[in-house]
Amino acid sequence: MPVVPTLTLNNGVAIPQLGFGVFQVPLGETQRVVEDALEAGYRHIDTAAAYGNEAAVGAAIAACGIPRDDLFITTKLRNGEQAIAAEAFEASRRALGLDVIDLYLIHWPVPSAGLFVDVWRVLEKIYAADGVRAIGVSNFLQEHLDTLLAETTIVPAVDQIEIHPTFQQAALSAKARTLGIAIEAYSPLGQGADLNAAAVTALARKRGVSPAQVVIGWHLGIGDIVIPKSTHLDRMTENLAAAAITLDRDELAAITALESGARIGTDPAKASHSQM
Ligand code: A2P
């Protein structure tokens, strides 16, 4: 099994840099898929209340027999529950069957609701009460990070945002890193679309690896935490093996050159309270 590097978050907590995401994994398949991912060697699983599959993730965790301390589990606060964040956190903890969540994120800033600063203060309390080992945000743009940093105490450990070769958010990533906020890439393969880019397939041929391994190797090389998903065990194994690939500077640059502003998900400035 490949050794996955760990990054140290700004509060000293270690996170496996390559994890497994379960966004869009069908509910009926989630327990099997997470059990397969754990069997393949993943130890970092990323879910969210809004995905509706926390209980299935929890069932896989309970069934796997892996010591709790060897696992790193992330979940996220649903937009529609920002006004009841403390209760929502408890519900997530129950659904996952865990006393302590490793990383809890505000899923979207929902600026139109004007709640994210208050929500962050609730997460700070949950952190102080040891309900969670690290707290962070997702889909926060620079202006949202600036507001949080100006008005609250704890600097988010991570900002989980859409990043893949054709949509990199490089300025936001660079700014977050200067603030001590680690960047986590979601939809890291561009939901599969970026695997067909000519620069990716050419580099895959040259290195004798798969296009997904090139793209995951690129994320690891630029310092992202990355959470690819697949419902297929062979692809889970293939993706995890990318931990052993080190792209050189020119190879990284060839993939970075694919930036084309191809956002797949919702613009965080516009994501609504009812969504997710
Ligand atoms: P599948 O689940 O059928 O394997 P992202 O993580 O960016 O959201 O991308 C997930 C998409 O990429 C899914 O459609 C998944 O399909 C596909 N995918 C994941 N790993 C691979 C791989 N190694 N090769 C090809 N497609 C992959």
**HEC profile for the chain?**
CCCCCEEECCCCCEEECECEECCCCCHHHHHHHHHHHHHHCCCEEECCHHHCCHHHHHHHHHHHCCCHHHCEEEEEECHHHHHHHHHHHHHHHHHHCCCCEEEEEECCCCHHHCCHHHHHHHHHHHHHCCCEEEEEEECCCHHHHHHHHHHCCCCCCEEEEECECCECCHHHHHHHHHCCCEEEEECCCCCCHHHHCHHHHHHHHHHCCCHHHHHHHHHHHHCCEECCCCCCHHHHHHHHHHHHCCCCHHHHHHHHCCCCCCCCCCCCCCCCCCCC
Give nearest CA residue, ligand 1 atom 9.
Answer: 191
Query: Of 51, 104, 127, 186, which is the active-site residue?
Result: 51
- How many other C-beta atoms are found inside a 10 Å radius of the C-beta of residue 45? 24
Atom of ligand 1 nearest to the CA of 227: 6
127 is catalytic: no
Angle of CA points 153, 157, 161, to nearest 5°: 120
- Residue 272's pLDDT is what? 72
- Residue 276's pLDDT is what? 64
Residue with tokens 């640059």: 253
Residue 143 and residue 171 in contact, taking contact as beta carbons nearer than 8 Å: no
Question: What order of strands is seen across the sheet that includes strand 158-162?
Answer: 20-21, 44-46, 72-77, 101-106, 132-138, 158-162, 182-186, 225-226
Give nearest CA residue, ligand 1 atom 23.
Answer: 235
Q: How far is the CA of 190 from the centre of ligand 1 (A)?
A: 9
Q: How far is the CA of 2 from the centre of ligand 1 (A)?
A: 19
Which residues line ligand 1 at a C-beta cut-off of 6 Å? 21, 187-192, 195, 210, 212, 228-232, 235, 238-239
Residue with tokens 């937009």: 79
Task: Give CA–CA dist 19/246, Å, rounded.
Answer: 17
- Residue 275's pLDDT is what? 59
- How many other C-beta atoms are found inside a 10 Å radius of the C-beta of residue 126? 18
Give nearest CA residue, ligand 1 atom 12.
Answer: 192
CA dihedral for 209, 215, 221, 225, sign (positive or negative): negative
Q: How far is the CA of 192 from the centre of ligand 1 (A)?
A: 5
Backbone phi, psi, residue 86, to 5°: -65, -45
Q: How far is the CA of 75 from the centre of ligand 1 (A)?
A: 21
Task: Give CA–CA dist 129/123, Å, rounded.
Answer: 10
- Residue 111's pLDDT is what? 94
Backbone phi, psi, residue 21, to 5°: -100, 150
Does the pTM exceed 0.85? yes
In angstroms, the Cα distances linking 23 to 75, 176, 213, 268 are 11, 24, 20, 17
pLDDT in tens, the chain (276 residues): 789 999 999 999 999 999 999 999 999 999 999 999 999 999 999 999 999 999 999 999 999 999 999 999 999 999 999 999 999 999 999 999 999 999 999 999 999 999 999 999 999 999 999 999 999 999 999 999 999 999 999 999 999 999 999 999 999 999 999 999 999 999 999 999 999 999 999 999 999 999 999 999 999 999 999 999 999 999 999 999 999 999 999 999 999 999 999 999 999 988 776 656
